[in-house]
Structure 1
Amino acid sequence: MTSSAALAVPAEACRVASVRTWASTRMVTWGIAVDVQNAALLVIGELAANAVRHGRSELSVLLSLDTTVLQIEVADSGAPRSPVVPRLELDEDEHGWGLGIVETLSDDVTTTRGEAGWRTWARLRLDECPACLRPRPHVPAQRRR
């Protein structure tokens, strides 16, 4: 069974939190494990922030769920905006990590550029979410008496 949900909002920084809240509600409704939800919300937040910072005037998010994969699609579209003015003092430690975070948390990431704007897909396997795997607890070997 496949479920999907879509949201479109103006590409404004103040909308990123509401996009995450919307996505969280969908994932809770679908019964997705909390660890996967947390990873997905980080991915959605990073991709939405990139669309706001570098994209066009509209932001859309599509979540698709099948039995083993949650697919997140974030796209920007609409009218081109004025080029982003580069910051004079970018702290390398605080900026530029977004897609690296997305790639670490996702099993697969694809980004394409078309006439309408950028589109990124991130896929998280429900049974093997990289960020959700916990080390197995260490069980000491039993001593023989």
Structure 2
Amino acid sequence: MTNIQIMDRAADAVAPSLAREYTSPVPHVLQAASVMRHRVQGVLAAWGMPKTAAQEALLVISELVTEGILRGLPPVELRLSLRRDGVRTVMRVEVSDSGAALAPAWPVRVPRPDEHGCGSAVVKALAVRYGTDSRSGTVTRWADLPAF
């Protein structure tokens, strides 16, 4: 297995009890979703996120990272932030890449239908809001999740 090095930074903003941010580059390898899930578990625990909300967040993070790796060009970056949305606190998950990757003319292996295709259903089921933004050659897939 390849040794993957990831640099990250976690920062508290003005109100340490609520405003929290985490940013990390995502390695452009197929194992990126697994690597990022393991990395982010500690961040969510440090933020005091309830176990169920953290597990749901990890699923969405995994799906958005996978989408960024499979459909986008490097560099890919993961950003997490907590913010107030009315009476609740939501976590924004953003995965940004450098635009659409060209599809290979002859795929090495055609994925089975049961292996791919349900990621957007997972995000839709767990997110309060979700979407995709394209600006200046950067594509950002995002989802807002209930945090507390």
Structure-1-length-normalised TM-score: 0.76
| Paired positions, count | 126
Which residue of 2 is the match for residue 46 of structure 1?
Answer: 63
Which residue of 2 is the match for residue 83 of structure 1?
Answer: 103
2:82–2:90 CA contact under 8 A, matched in 1: yes
Distance 1:106 1:87, change over 3 A: farther
Larger Rg: 1
Which residue of 2 is the match for residue 60 of structure 1?
Answer: 77
Q: Check if 1:125 corresponds to 2:142.
A: no
2:92–2:143 CA contact under 8 A, matched in 1: yes
1:55–1:117 CA contact under 8 A, matched in 2: no
Which residue of 1 is the match for residue 12 of structure 2?
Answer: none
Query: Which letter maps to 1:74?
Result: V
Give ranges in structure 1 of 5+ residues lacking alignment.
128-145
Question: Which of 121, 131, 139 does residue 110 from structure 1 map onto?
Answer: 131
Identity over aligned pairs, percent? 28
Question: Which of 70, 74, 86 does residue 95 from structure 2 map onto?
Answer: 74
Distance 1:115 1:33, change over 3 A: same
SS of the equivalent of 2:39 reads helix
Query: Which letter maps to 1:124?
Result: L
SS of the equivalent of 1:13 reads coil
Q: Following TM superposition, by how much is the alpha carbon of 1:114 offset from its aligned partner in structure 2, in angstroms?
A: 2.9
Query: Which letter maps to 1:2?
Result: A
Larger mean Cα displacement after TM superposition, 107-116 or 22-31:
107-116
SS of the equivalent of 1:118 reads strand
Larger mean Cα displacement after TM superposition, 80-89 or 108-117:
80-89
Distance 1:43 1:33 in 2: 16
SS of the equivalent of 2:31 reads helix
Runs of 4+ off more than 2 Å? 80-94, 113-117
Which residue of 2 is the match for residue 130 of structure 1?
Answer: none
Q: Following TM superposition, by how much is the alpha carbon of 1:95 offset from its aligned partner in structure 2, in angstroms?
A: 1.7
CA RMSD of aligned residues (A): 2.1
Distance 1:91 1:71, change over 3 A: same
1:10–1:59 CA contact under 8 A, matched in 2: yes
- Structure holding more helix per residue: 1
